[in-house]
């Protein structure tokens, strides 16, 4: 798939913008704070329905304006998709796909796939478990929109169960119904995550070996507080969650919070059998994230049947020449967007690209 056209009205620092993209490589050049990432953010928004730098839609609307409008036209193998979004400072955002209004934002998922790689992604390795769970959940949602609803349902039940535990003040309470409900949804979430990490793990290992000239073996391991076995079915996981609830009953009454379930799970990254978070060099951490992002491209291709688009926001300057070359030379069939302050540093070999120069929310183009 590829993004043909993007239209912005009153979005971040753009008054009005209408651009046609190159099906292969698009380079967005400009000094700091000119609006490069704002374009990436608008593209991401049309894919996921949420911005990646803020949870507040109001921040996306131009400071002195009440409403913003974004339109993306995406060409896919079998059909084209037109995504339109209206943001309003005093109303909920409205989304249309091929002119049909969506009832929920979640319905947008699966129409237009993107993989974004920005310096913030180092958090997947260096940050806390919440960052790693966010990474897994975002990726699975893109491919299985049903998972998005499961997560929402799980979080609702979890909040209610936590409220009961908080209000119990340490007294024994009957949580059987809540345990069952949480186990029903939680088992699907864990099952999907294990499946996803298994696939991503195999792909990331292959890619990482290639990027490091066979010197390093990357492992991605799903670490759960539920003692699952590799071939467990959803029912097996469900039963294990229930027995963990029984085993941790006292602990939960003392802590007054749910300690069992996928909201407490994590990911571990190892290179040559050593954990990357604590012992990997900066370069190894960056390369591990690069391998992970590259594996997402292959994963989405496998699930959806076509490559997503790749958004590389401000990451080129952080990679050494070998990694940069690997990226530029291995992405021939994937529409890629690169933001940079220094175009001279990119070793562009062919002419299959379009360069956009950004200055104070205005764009000039060089083919
Ligand atoms: N809601 C908004 N209304 C108006 N301007 C905004 C809004 N949100 C952000 N901006 C402006 O957008 C600019 C930042 O744009 P962006 O983050 O895309 O920069 P960039 O070109 O990627 O810079 P860098 O190279 O530093 O990452 C800033 O000048 C900021 O003040």
Q: Judge if 1-113+307-366 and 119-305 fold alike in CATH terms.
A: no
Cβ–Cβ under 8 Å, residues 225 and 260: yes
| Ligand 1 atom at minimal distance to the Cα of residue 60 | 1
User: If we measure between CA atoms, which residue out of 155, 141, 157 comes closest to residue 193?
Assistant: 141
State the CB neighbour count (10 A cutoff) for residue 73: 19
User: Largest Cα–Cα distance of the chain, in whole Å?
Assistant: 70
Hey, where are the domains in the chain?
1-113+307-366, 119-305
Provide the pLDDT for residue 329.
Answer: 74
| Ligand 1 atom at minimal distance to the Cα of residue 341 | 25
Q: What is the pLDDT of residues 316-348, one digit of tens each?
A: 877 888 788 777 777 878 999 999 998 877 777
Q: Is the pLDDT of residue 297 over 70?
A: yes
Q: What is the pLDDT of residues 163-184, one digit of tens each?
A: 999 998 878 888 999 999 999 9
User: If we measure between CA atoms, which residue out of 77, 101, 57, 82 comes closest to residue 6?
Assistant: 82
Any residues with Cβ below 6 Å from ligand 1, and which?
12-13, 30, 32-38, 59, 61-63, 314, 339, 341
Provide the pLDDT for residue 346.
Answer: 74
The model's confidence at residue 54, banded by pLDDT at 50, 70 and 90, is confident
Q: Which residue has the tokens 């991401």?
A: 44
Provide the pLDDT for residue 170.
Answer: 73
The model's confidence at residue 90, banded by pLDDT at 50, 70 and 90, is very high
Q: Which residues, in sequence order, are bridge partners of residue 8?
A: 17, 70
Predicted complex: ipTM over 0.90: yes
Cβ–Cβ under 8 Å, residues 150 and 223: no
The residue whose C-alpha atom lies closest to atom 8 belonging to ligand 1 is: 12
Provide the pLDDT for residue 324.
Answer: 82
Tokens of 254: 């003392």
Provide the pLDDT for residue 315.
Answer: 87
Is 20 labelled as part of a ligand binding site? no
Is 205 labelled as part of a ligand binding site? no
In CATH, 1-113+307-366 is 3.90.226.10: no
Is 217 labelled as part of a ligand binding site? no
CATH classification number, 119-305, choose in 3.40.50.970, 3.40.50.300, 1.20.1050.90, 1.10.10.10: 1.20.1050.90
Cβ–Cβ under 8 Å, residues 46 and 85: yes
Is 32 labelled as part of a ligand binding site? yes
The model's confidence at residue 367, banded by pLDDT at 50, 70 and 90, is low
| Ligand 1 atom at minimal distance to the Cα of residue 30 | 21
d(CA 39, CA 230): 41
Q: Is the pLDDT of residue 217 over 70?
A: yes
Q: Is the pLDDT of residue 350 over 90?
A: no
Mean pLDDT of the chain: 93
The residue whose C-alpha atom lies closest to atom 26 belonging to ligand 1 is: 32
Provide the pLDDT for residue 310.
Answer: 96
Please give the average per-residue pLDDT across 206-224, as a whole number: 95
Provide the pLDDT for residue 172.
Answer: 84
Please give the average per-residue pLDDT across 2-20, as a whole number: 97
Q: What is the pLDDT of residues 12-42, one digit of tens each?
A: 999 999 999 999 999 999 999 999 999 999 9
Q: What is the pLDDT of residues 243-291, one digit of tens each?
A: 999 999 999 999 999 999 999 999 999 999 999 999 999 889 999 999 9
Half-sphere exposure of 102 (CA within 13 A, CB side): 21
Provide the pLDDT for residue 259.
Answer: 97
Most informative mutation of 12, 36, 312, 313 for ligand 1 (most atoms within 8 A of CB): 12
The residue whose C-alpha atom lies closest to atom 16 belonging to ligand 1 is: 35
Most informative mutation of 33, 61, 340 for ligand 1 (most atoms within 8 A of CB): 33
The residue whose C-alpha atom lies closest to atom 27 belonging to ligand 1 is: 32
Is 142 labelled as part of a ligand binding site? no
Is 37 labelled as part of a ligand binding site? yes
Instruction: With residue 217 as reference, give the H or E element that holds it.
Output: none
Q: Quick one: what percent of the chain has pLDDT higher than 70?
A: 99
285 Cβ partners below 8 Å, 6+ apart? 122, 125, 126, 276, 277
User: If we measure between CA atoms, which residue out of 100, 112, 83, 125 comes closest to residue 276?
Assistant: 125
The residue whose C-alpha atom lies closest to atom 5 belonging to ligand 1 is: 13
The model's confidence at residue 52, banded by pLDDT at 50, 70 and 90, is confident
List phi, psi (to 5°) of 201: -60, -45
């Amino acid at each position: 798939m590829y993004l043909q056209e993007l239209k912005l009205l009153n979005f971040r620092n753009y008054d009005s913008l209408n651009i046609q993209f190159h099906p292969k490589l698009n380079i967005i050049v400009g000094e700091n704070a000119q609006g490069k990432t704002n374009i990436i953010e608008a593209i991401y928004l049309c894919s996921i329905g949420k911005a990646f730098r803020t949870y507040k839609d109001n921040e996306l609307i131009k400071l002195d304006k009440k409403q913003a409008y974004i339109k993306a036209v995406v060409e896919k193998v079998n059909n084209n998709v037109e995504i339109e979004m209206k943001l309003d400072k005093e109303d909920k955002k409205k989304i249309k796909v091929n002119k049909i209004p969506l009832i929920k934002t979640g319905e947008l998922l699966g129409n237009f796939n993107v993989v974004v790689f920005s310096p913030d992604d180092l958090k997947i390795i260096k940050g806390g478990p919440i960052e790693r769970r966010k990474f897994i959940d975002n990726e699975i949602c893109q491919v299985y929109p049903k998972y998005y609803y499961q997560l929402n349902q799980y979080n609702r039940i979890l909040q209610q169960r936590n409220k009961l535990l908080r209000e119990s003040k340490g007294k024994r309470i009957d949580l059987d119904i809540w345990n069952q409900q949480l186990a029903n949804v939680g088992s699907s979430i864990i099952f999907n995550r294990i499946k996803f990490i298994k696939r991503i793990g195999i792909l990331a290992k292959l890619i990482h070996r290639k990027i490091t000239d066979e010197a390093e073996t990357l492992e991605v391991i799903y670490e759960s507080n539920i003692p699952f076995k590799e071939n467990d079915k959803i029912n097996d996981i469900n039963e294990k969650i229930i027995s963990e609830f029984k085993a941790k009953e006292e602990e939960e009454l003392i802590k007054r919070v749910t300690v069992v379930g996928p909201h407490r799970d994590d990911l571990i990254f190892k290179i040559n059998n050593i954990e990357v978070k604590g012992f990997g060099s900066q370069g190894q951490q960056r390369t591990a994230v690069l391998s992970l992002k590259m594996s997402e491209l292959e994963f989405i291709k496998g699930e959806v049947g076509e490559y997503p688009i790749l958004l590389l926001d401000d990451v080129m300057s952080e990679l050494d020449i070998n990694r940069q070359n690997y990226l530029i030379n291995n992405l021939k069939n994937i529409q890629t967007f690169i933001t940079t302050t220094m175009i001279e540093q990119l070793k562009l070999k062919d002419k299959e690209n379009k360069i956009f120069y950004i200055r104070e929310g205005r764009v000039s183009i060089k083919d």
